[in-house]
Amino acid sequence: MVACQLQKRPGAFIIRGKAMALCPAASLSFKGRWRGILTGVWDLRLSLLDAARGCAIINVVIFHFFYDHYVVSGLDPAWRADPFVGFWQLCSYGAFVLIAGSSFHLSGNNPARGLKLNLFGLLITFVTCIFAPQQAIYFGILNFHGCAIWVTWAIKKILIRCPAGLGMTASLLLYVIGMLAASAGVMGTWPNFLAHNAFVPLGWHGVSFHSADYVPLLPHIFLFWCSWYFYLWLDDAKGFFSRGSVPLLSWCGRHSLAIYLLHQPVFFFLGVTI
């Protein structure tokens, strides 16, 4: 086996080589191996991040099962208004945002990954608008991730100038302030020209706007950056995120996008046929 060489760039770790002999805790997906052979850029997979992503996707699947059971079926349309349910939903997409922030450093082609997530997000919007207009999704978690990756990639040379500890703390503080402002209705006190659906990706929208899953850039991109800085703040990030291995959770984490895209159609099919 040929030893891999890690080349550290501002905000990114790129693996160049054809094996992982010096990186036993990291592994490449089958698709990642082939892309590495063709391009010389290897995506690094870390077991703890995969397991955490697996927990997050399982949590989302469970949440959507109950959401479909109570809300989509009409059994209890007010189920989502329960404070516990709201907190559960917040934790669900918050976990994905945190994982995505650190994962940014492990991708060999972030622009392509961001574009892929945006395209899948637009596909979900199209499908829900056609088949479930009352549960249509505009700028959900996939579109957020795609745009957050693009924005971070575009300004990473600026972000990297800030010390990791300071950037992590400031990002977390801005996220908390943003969430408190949103919950207090402060966003609605901004100038009227912002109350337009053209600003939906940023967090402002018209009065009639509704989305079954809505994760705007503001303030959530600050949580993304908090995790982005956290990865840089760690002395041995790859070692930290490679600790332990839970095969089932790691498998779910490696296939989280496919699970996310397929679980709702499966629930819909079961709801129709059972």
The C-alpha angle with vertex 183 and arms to 118 and 164, in degrees rounded to 5, equals: 60
Helices 110-131 + 141-159 axis angle, to 10: 160
Dihedral sign, Cα of residue 17, residue 18, residue 22, residue 23:
positive
How deeply is 132 buried, as exposed, middle or buried, from its count of CB atoms within 10 A (0-12, 13-18, 19+)? middle
- Rounded CA gap, 245 and 249, in Å? 8
Q: How far apart are CA 89 and CA 67, in angstroms?
A: 10
Q: What is the pLDDT of residues 92-141, one digit of tens each?
A: 999 999 999 999 998 889 999 999 999 999 999 999 999 889 889 999 99
Report residue 149's pLDDT band, with 50, 70 and 90 as the boundaries: very high
Strand partners, 26: 46
Please choose, from the candidates 212, 271, 230, 217, the residue with its C-alpha nearest in 3D space to the C-alpha of residue 69. Answer: 271
Q: Which three-class secondary structure state does DSSP give residue 62? A: helix
Q: Express each pLDDT in 61-100 by its tens digit.
A: 999 999 998 998 888 989 988 999 999 999 999 999 999 9
Task: Answer yes or no: are the C-beta atoms of 16 and 26 closer than 8 Å.
Answer: no
Tokens of 49: 């991040």
Beta strand segments in the chain, E: 5-9, 12-16, 26-27, 45-46
Higher-pLDDT residue of 31, 174:
174
Instruction: Specify the DSSP element, H or E, that contains 83.
Output: helix 83-103
Q: Share the mean pLDDT of the chain.
A: 81
Percent of the chain with pLDDT over 70: 75
What is the C-alpha separation between 18 and 90, in angstroms, rounded? Answer: 40
Is the pTM higher than 0.85? no
Provide the token pair at 224: 């993304």
Q: Establish whether the linkage from the previous residue to 77 is cis, with ω within 30° of 0.
A: no
Q: Would you say residue 215 has pLDDT above 80?
A: yes
DSSP 172-201: HHHHHHHHHHHHTTGGGGS-GGG-SGGGGG
